[in-house]
Structures are given as structure tokens and as C-alpha cells.
Amino acid sequence: MQTVRYALVAGLVVFLAVGDAMAECEPRVAYEMTVDFDPGDRSVSGRQVIVWRNYGPDPVQTLPFHLYMNAFRRADSTFFREDRTSRHARPFEPANAGACRLTSLAIDGMGDLLDRLLFIQPDDGNPADETVVSLTLPRPVMPAESITIRIEFETVLPRLVARAGWSGNFFLVAQWYPKLGVLEPPGWRGALLTRWNCHQYHRHSEFYANFADFEVRLTAPAEYVIGATGREIARTPEPEGRTAYVFRETCVHDFAWAACPDFEVVRDTFFGQVDVTAAEYAAWAEWLEMKPADLWLPDVRLTILMHRDHRELADLTLHTLKQAVKYYGLWFGPYPYEQITVVDPAPGAAAAAGMEYPTFFTGGSHELQAWWPFSAIRLETVIVHEFGHNYWQGMVASNEFEEPWLDEGINTYAEATVNRFMYNPGGHPLETLSLGGFLTSRYRYLQRQPLLDPVNRVSWEYFPGHYGVNAYDRASLLLLTAEPLMGRPRFYQALRQYFRKFQFGHPTTADFLQHFKDAGNETVAALLADVILHNGTVDFRADSIRVTPPNEEGRVTSQVAVSCLGELRLPVDILFCFEDGTELRETWRPVGDRNWHEFEFVRETPLAAVVVDPEYRVALDDCFANNSLTRRPVTDPVDTWQGLVQFVMQMLLQVATWLA
Amino acid sequence: MRSVYPFGKLGQLLLVLYLGSLLFSWPVGALFGARLDDYAGASLFLQRLEGQPFDPLFLAEFLPNAAPLKLVSPLLPPLMVGYFLFHVFFAGGAMYSLAERRGPFWASFWQGFMKFGSRFLLLNLIFLSLAAVTVLLIVSLFHLVQKMAPEPAGDMAPLYIALLQGAVIFTGVGLLQSMHYVIRARWVLQPRPLWQMLRVPLQGNARFLLLAAVKYLVITLLGFGLAALVIRLAFSLTVHGVLLLVLLQLAVLCTVAGRIWLYAEFVKDGRRQLRAEEERMKAVPPAANVPVAGGGGATESGTDAVVSATGGAAVGGTPAAADDSPVESPGRENRPEGKT
Ligand SMILES: [Zn+2]
């Protein structure tokens, strides 16, 4: 009975909550597409009708479109140019090129406009890049006027290099159709005058678009299993062994799909009243200072397209997905769409793994992960991370080109935190190899020192090789550092409020910083601004311990110097350990231009050791190893490590004499 | 005679190789430990580690910052080269003293070390280049086949192919190594010019070669396997320093013992081969320039020049010119006495 009543009440609340959330979304454009998928040619071709309303105050004379598959058309496209600077550059092979061609373009009332198209390169002026095309209209589109654009296009998918393309009989079809840029009227993301924002396709970024309504009618060979953004609302057999699918979704900024005959379909439902216990609702309600009823989560249909080689991992994927739906939902707000589809890339299609599209994402598994010890390399992190992108970028649709940290950084933090909710932290050393978790972020952060950019940069303007560490890892560690400064519940609340405020919007870094300024914690606001905008760093150190001989009363003076390198001014706990076993804690905060401080204790026993930040709360500290100092070396663990090093040395030497 | 070898020849050799191995790796470990000890207050950080399962944070934290490791890294290349040379020269001493049956052990070891070490090095360089070419060939072959073959099905396929490639390389190199060891063993028993020695494995027993290659592989894999095991233990348990050290020494001893056993096997086989040849020589009337003392030939330095001058056509080598040699020719000692 209790359950039924719960379900009824919850259902009502959910209905209201979802209705409410979706009402906040205002789709700016509608896409209706009818396309044919030909796996033999690796092509998708068809028609597209775009209905766009000028929502700005000014007349608009040009329309820019993304034609992103052209990034894979030539070796000197901006994508390949940027890729060349990376350590794992992939060569361009003409036989495996991709392309997106328009065969006709007309606007109702303006006639055929195909001849008016011109490739433009707003980001880098690279004339070889054909990923953005601009259409000059014969007459301007007036404010509030709607136009209907009719396009016929053919997309050839590239062999997988990055993100979209094919590998064997697996297809990830993303960024595959002509898509309008984003009109930014004055006031949008800091725009002073009406402007278009339509970036080229880059090595590290591809997302920024209006929220839109999609209806896609897709025909494909019947043996192919298809998964896509949104809900499948129809499936009908067609002649010549083909099947037609219709997918529909509202308030999403993109539409992607995948096809492979080797997918096995696993379906389940996330039940807001079963998969989350009343106790969990209550705990989160207390955490967030809300009523449990305001946290209730709606049901979500889950579809997993698992490659049959990885079928053993389907249960784990499903379980993880439910956990992600639960924790992201409780923390930031309910997942408002009815459906989520997860695609498991085929073996050999790793380049398509871990990609996020609205209500649709790819995981990434390997048969080995079903076996010890490789099972420690967690499949879960990628599922949690990519699901999380439905929130960060999917719904809070920041500009990934210009401010990549806003989605990747916040989402990496959220993913690592959700992983902590899901599992006990620490454990197996192989975990260090898996993607995700604060430990990995910390490791990459240390490896790339010194960092030469602030967290926030246009994605292609970071120091070579420093995009990931800044946009993902450092941003994640920054939020982890801010967490205890603000108090964990307060911080969780502030992030939730930020999400709710900008759900179905396009916030900027300035909006984020302003939000945290308004949240009222000056230290946190300053910390965020210093690292995100100014490359602020911090390294706390314990510098010296000096002990004077006992005075006539038998008391000794212990002096401890601690210092803080870097620009950040954070309060930090310091633990003082005395030889009689007593411990003392103090908080120190460097002020102004004085980067050090001396503590003095006059006591019966001298100081034995000092530890700055004993709980490692300042996750951004450039080096934890210099945080502590002891007057008497501790030798036991040193023996362990010297033994281990000796062993490793021995093995290295054995390799050297393998052929001796 | 036996009283000359108080712990047995193998035992003494084992001790030498073990101590030598320690000599190369121990200072590095000690240096690391000592440096870690006073490295910017790491001690307390380490203290937190005690009594806890392995903390990956330590790895994440320490490796990028580890001054001790940075200190060790420039030492690595010279250490590796030094250890390699030590092994080659040790093999000279070990095989010679195993072949030699008279005189004090250390004298023969030292003599072999000095004389055969340099010869072995030369031989080794030849085999290293052979090994390099073999590996290159195998890798290119796999590359070619992979290019021609369709996309591998399943994500285990690339792994299996890589494993297969590894196995082929390992077996190929193992076979080369066992040929190399056959030459070494024969060289200390019956010194002749290098170019003549290179033909020895081709005349030898194919079954023995194959078996030796397998033994060589097993010993090598045992070394790596033990390493993996100990590292795994160290990473997952709270391993106390002493326990780790004991495990380490055991693993080192095992691989070192394996190597010496292998050397002994090769010397034993070399003797068998020589004996077989001797038997054959007895059956056939000896050629004019072949000494009656079958099998054994030259011993000391200087005789090699004579050997090359007279040509290598004769199976038995050249007249034994070193009657005044302090150590008798090991070859002469290869009478079927049944003891080694
Ligand atoms: Zn991401």
C-alpha cells in the first residue's frame, strides 16, 4: 500500500516536475529529416527540412551551417592540422575520407540558393577547411519571421579516426547532417551585437547548438540494429529488406545514431520509486536542504546496444547506467527525457568510445574487462561520465569550443564524485589506469606540471598537449578543492542551483563565476576565478623544524616554518605532532605578499613532526610530498620501498641480460 | 680433486652471480631508500602508508615528484650496460671453470673470465645482431600479414596476434640463444677460431638445441613471472620491508640458479658431443695432421693463431702446443669418467 501511494504521489510530482522542466526549454529550430543509410557505400543521404525562426531583434542576412564530416575529407583540414600536434596523430587516408555534400538547397519563398553557398573558416582562416558553409540570403529574415529551409544532402562517413565514422560493420553516425549555427542576439553569452556562432570542427571540440526538435525517418538494411537520439516512435518494414525507423525528440541540441548488425539489444527501465530508496531520497533531501518529494525521479527507459563480443558486460553497463541516472538526478535534478540509449562500440572501434550526444552516448568496453585483473579497469567510469554529459552540455549547453572546461571539467568532477558514491574509493592499483576518478586527474595534473594556461581557453589554444589536463583534470580538482572550503552540502547545493538556473540555456564562465560569487563564499569565488581565468597555482610546504635546548624550567621551544608557493591564498589546516603524542591543529592562511609563516611552541616536549593539509583537501596542491616534515626519519616504509625499487631494478637488469 | 671446490662448483658460481647481481641493483635500491628517507619530509607521508594496504595515491603523488627516481634514472643506462658485460664475462668464467677439472676453482674461473669473457663478448655481438635481424624480420612479417588480412574480428584478436608475435619472437630468439650457448660451451672445451666455432651449432644435436631453447625460455619467463608475482604481492598486501626483501632475494636466486644450471647443461652437452666425435674419429683412421689425443686440442692463448694458420679442416683441431700450460686442456679431461 505504502508503495502504491508513494508511486501515485511520486508520479504526480514527477509529471509536474518534468512538465515544468521541459516548459523552460524553448526549441529555437526544428529539423525533420528523411534519410537512407547505405552501409555498402558507408553513406547517409536524404532530405532535410529546417524550420528556423529569427529569435533576435535584428534582421538576419546570412545563415551558417556545420558540415562537419568534411573535417575528414582532406589531410589539411583544421581537424587533421590540430591532430598532427598530438602524440597519437592519425594519418589521413584518402580512401577512408568522409564528406558532407549539399545537392540542393532552397528556402520557401526565396528559391534555389545552392549557388550562394561559400565555405568560411571563422576560427583559423584555414582555406582547406570546409566544415562551415555560409549562405547569403537574397533578402534578410526579419525578427520573429520563420523560414523553411529544404536541403538535400549526402554524407559519406569516414573510417573511424575520431568520434564519428565506421569500423567494419559498426557505424557511429554523428555530426552527419547540415546543422545551423547559433544566432546570438545582444545579451547572449556576452554578445553586444547580433552574431552567429558557428565554429569549425576541431580536434577537441564539436558541441554548441540551439535546442531543437528533431524528427528523423531513417531507412536501413533490416539486419542492422539501430539506436539513436530520442524515442523510437515507429518501425516499419520496407521493400528490399530494409526497415524504416522514426525517431523523435524535443529540446535536444543534436541528433546522433549508431548501426551495427552485431548489437544485442538490452532493455530495462529505471524506476524512480524502486531504484532509489526512500532512505536515499531522505538523505539527499537533508544534504540539499529540500523536501524528499521535490527530489523524486521520473522513470526512464534504458536501451543498451551491446556488441555481442561484450555481452558479459551488459549487466554491469545497465547497473552503472541506473546508478548514474540516480545520482545525477538526485544531485542536479531529474533526467527529463523518457529515453536514454547506450551504444557499446564494436571491437576495433575504440575511436568511437566515450562519446556523448543528447539522450544517446557510447560507452567503451573490451572483452578483457570481463577477466581479472583487467576487471579493475573500470568500464563504469566512462558510462557515468558520458551519461553525465546529458546534464553538462546536453542540458546546460555551454559552448564547448570556447569554454571546454564548462562541460568537461564540471562533468569530470561530477563523474568522479558519483563514482565515489557508487564505490569505495582506493583499492586496486590498476584503477590508476582507468579513465576517471580524482586519482587519475591528480596523476595527470602532476605529470603535466607546470601548466601554462588558465583552466579556461578556447579548446585549440591550449599549450600543445595541455587541453585535457586543463579542461578535465585541473577543473575537476579545482571543484574538489572548493568543496571543503564551502562545505560539501553547500557546494553540492550551489552546483545544483547552477544547473537548474541554466538548464536548457547556454551559460558562460562568467555566469558560472557570478553564480558562485552570489553563493556568498568569497574564498571560493576568488579561488575559482584565480584558477579558471588566471592560472593560479598553490604549493604548500613544511619548510623547517627547529628545537632549542630546554630552558631552566625544562621547557623547549619548537619553531616551525611553513610556506605557500603560488598565487592562491587558501586557508589550510596544519597538524603539529609532539613527541609525547599530543597533536595540535591550526589553520593558516597566507595573506598579501607574505608566503610563509613561523609557528612557535614552548612546551615540555619538543615537536616531532608537522603536516600541512593532513587530509589533502587542497587537491590543487602542486606537490603533496613536501607537505610534511619530521625530525626523526621513519625508516620502516622506506625499507619497503627500497626493496621494491631494488626489485624493479633487478628486473630491469634481467631484461638487459636476456640476451647476454 | 673435489676438495678444491668446498661448496661445489655450481654453488660457488651461484654465489658469484648472486653477489654480482646484488652489487648492481642493491646500491640503487639503497640510494632510493636513503634519498626517500630525507626527501622533503616524505617520511611522514610514508608513515601513513604503514599498516595500510597499498595506497595508489602514493604512486600518483610520488612518481612525478620523486627526486630519488630522477636521481636513479641517469644511472640506469650505464648500469644496464655494465650488468650486461658482467654477465657475458661471468659466463666466460663460469663455463670455463665448469669445463676445467683440475686446479683451484678460482684460478680457472678467473682465467675463463679474462680469456673467454672477451671472446664471448665478440660472439655475443654477432648473435645480438642476428637476434635484432630475426626480431625485425618477424615483426615485418606480422605487419605484412596483418596488412593483407581483413579486419580482425573481436577485440581479443589483436591481443592474440600480439601474443602470437611475442611467442614467435621469444622462441626465435631462444633458439638463437641456445645456438650461442652451444658455441660458448664448445669454445671453452676446444678453443678454435671464431669463424670455425660458428659452424658448431649446425653440426650439433638439433634435439638438444630445441630443448635448450625451451629451458632458456622457461628460465627467462620464470624470472619475469616471479617479478610479476612479487610486485603484485607488494602492491596488494601490506608487505613489510623484510618480507619484501626476502621475496626479492629468493626471486633473484631462482633466476641466477637457473642460468648457472643452463651453463652446466651446455658444458655437459659440449662434452658429450666431443666424445661422440672422438668415437667417430676412432672408427676412422686419423688423418696425418690430426693429433692422436682426440677431441681436445688447443688450450692457451697463442695456439689460436696456429689453428687459423693450419686451417680448420681437421675436426680434432691442432696439436696441443701447451704442455707447459699451468692448467691442462679441459678437452683432454673429457674422458668418459661419468663425473662433471
Ligand atoms: Zn567528457
Number of other CB atoms surrounding residue B321 within 10 Å: 15
Q: Do A542 and B32 touch (CB under 8 A)?
A: no
Sheet with A165-167, strands from edge to edge, namely A165-167, A170-173, A257-260, A225-228
Instruction: List residues, by chain if needed, whose CB lies under 5 Å from ion ligand 1.
Output: A 408
B280 to chain A, minimum CA–CA distance in Å? 33
Determine if residue B137 is left, alpha or beta; phi over 0 gives left, psi from -120 to 50 gives alpha, anything else beta: alpha
pLDDT of residue A89: 77
Architecture of domain A405-534: Orthogonal Bundle (1.10)
Q: CA distances (Å), B326 to each of B114, B118, B168, B330, in order?
A: 15, 21, 46, 12
Cis status, amide bond into A57, omega within 30 of 0? no
Q: Do B39 and A442 touch (CB under 8 A)?
A: no
Q: CA distances (Å), A646 to each of A635, B52, B59, B72, in order?
A: 16, 21, 16, 11
Q: Do A429 and B56 touch (CB under 8 A)?
A: yes
Q: What are phi and psi of A339, to 5 degrees?
A: -135, 145
A415 to chain B, minimum CA–CA distance in Å? 19
Q: Taking 50 as the threshold, does the pLDDT of residue A321 lie above it?
A: yes
The residue to which cell 527529463 is assigned: A336
Which has the closest alpha carbon to B316: B329, B328, B301, B302? B329
Interface contact B54, partner A, CB < 8 A:
yes
Burial (CB count within 10 angstroms: exposed 0-12, middle 13-18, buried 19+), residue B272: middle
Architecture of domain A539-637: Sandwich (2.60)
- pLDDT digits 0-9 by tens, A584-642: 999 999 988 899 999 999 999 999 888 888 888 899 998 887 888 878 766 666 676 77
Cβ atoms of residues A171 and A60 within 8 Å: no
Residue ranges of domains in chain B: 7-283, 284-340
Name every chain A residue with its beta carbon within 8 A of the beta carbon of B91: 660
Q: Taking 80 as the threshold, does the pLDDT of residue A199 lie above it?
A: yes
Q: Model-level pTM?
A: 0.81
pLDDT of residue B104: 83
Low-confidence winner among A192-201, A351-360, B105-114, B191-200 (lowest mean pLDDT)? B191-200
Within B101-214, strands assigned E span none
pLDDT of residue B330: 40
Residue type, A430: L
Residue ranges of domains in chain A: 29-388, 405-534, 539-637
Name every chain B residue with its beta carbon within 8 A of the beta carbon of A653: 21, 24-25, 79-80, 83
Ligand 1 centroid distance, CA of A468 (Å): 10
Chain B CA closest to residue A167 = B151
Cβ atoms of residues A596 and A563 within 8 Å: yes
Name every chain A residue with its beta carbon within 8 A of the beta carbon of B33: 638-639, 641-642, 645
Predicted complex ipTM:
0.73
Name every chain B residue with its beta carbon within 8 A of the beta carbon of A560: none
- pLDDT digits 0-9 by tens, A544-593: 899 999 989 989 999 999 999 999 999 999 999 898 989 999 999 998 88
Q: Taking 60 as the threshold, does the pLDDT of residue B320 lie above it?
A: no
With cut-offs at 50, 70 and 90, classify the pLDDT of residue B49. low
Domain A29-388 bears CATH identifier 2.60.40.1730: yes
The residue to which cell 619472437 is assigned: B169
A196 to chain B, minimum CA–CA distance in Å? 43
Residue type, B84: F
Chain A CA closest to residue B124 = A660
How far is Cα B245 from Cα B236, in angstroms, rounded to an integer? 16
Cβ atoms of residues A403 and A462 within 8 Å: no
The residue to which cell 630522477 is assigned: B70
Name every chain A residue with its beta carbon within 8 A of the beta carbon of B230: 647
- pLDDT digits 0-9 by tens, B110-128: 999 999 999 999 999 999 9
Ligand 1 centroid distance, CA of A165 (Å): 19
Cβ atoms of residues A419 and A323 within 8 Å: no
Interface contact B155, partner A, CB < 8 A:
yes
- pLDDT digits 0-9 by tens, B195-226: 888 888 777 678 888 888 888 888 888 777 77
Name every chain A residue with its beta carbon within 8 A of the beta carbon of B94: none
Chain A CA closest to residue B245 = A643
Interface contact A641, partner B, CB < 8 A:
yes
Mean pLDDT of B217-244: 69
- pLDDT digits 0-9 by tens, A432-462: 445 457 877 888 888 888 899 999 999 999 9
Mean pLDDT of A12-21: 41
- pLDDT digits 0-9 by tens, A124-181: 999 999 999 999 999 999 999 999 999 999 999 999 999 999 999 999 999 999 999 9
**Percent of chain A's residues with pLDDT above 90:** 73
How far is Cα A172 from Cα A535, in angstroms, rounded to an integer? 37
Mean pLDDT of B250-261: 86
A435 to chain B, minimum CA–CA distance in Å? 14
Number of other CB atoms surrounding residue B12 within 10 Å: 18
- Picking from A420, A646, A648, A655 by the largest number of B CB atoms within 10 A of its own CB, the best residue to mutate is A646
Mean pLDDT of B293-308: 37
- Residues 101-140 on B with a CB inside 8 Å of A are 124, 127-128, 131
- Residues 410-429 on A with a CB inside 8 Å of B are 426-429
- pLDDT digits 0-9 by tens, A23-54: 479 999 999 999 999 999 999 999 999 999 99
- In total, the C-beta contacts within 8 angstroms joining chain A to chain B are 217
Interface contact B202, partner A, CB < 8 A:
no
Interface contact A433, partner B, CB < 8 A:
no
Cis status, amide bond into B319, omega within 30 of 0? no
Is residue B34 within a helix (H) or strand (E), and if so which, with residue range?
helix B9-38
- pLDDT digits 0-9 by tens, A81-90: 998 877 777 7
Ligand 1 centroid distance, CA of A392 (Å): 9
DSSP helix/strand/coil, A236: strand
Name every chain B residue with its beta carbon within 8 A of the beta carbon of A348: 151-152, 155, 158
The DSSP-derived string for A538-602 is -EEEEEEEEEPPP-TTS-EEEEEEEEEESS----EEEEEEETTS-EEEEEE--BTTB-EEEEEEE
Low-confidence winner among A583-592, A595-604, B245-254, B325-334 (lowest mean pLDDT)? B325-334
Ligand 1 centroid distance, CA of A404 (Å): 9
pLDDT of residue A88: 72
Which has the closest alpha carbon to A389: A472, A313, A319, A453? A472
A167, A442, A644 ranked by CB distance to B244: nearest: A644
How far is Cα B39 from Cα B63, in angstroms, rounded to an integer? 13
Q: Do B49 and A651 touch (CB under 8 A)?
A: no
Ligand 1 centroid distance, CA of B193 (Å): 66
Q: Taking 80 as the threshold, does the pLDDT of residue A423 lie above it?
A: no
B36, B156, B158 ranked by CB distance to A638: nearest: B36
How far is Cα A164 from Cα A426, in angstroms, rounded to an integer? 34
- Asked, colleague to colleague, whether A29-388 and A405-534 share their fold, the answer is no
Write out the three cell numbers for A77.
583540414
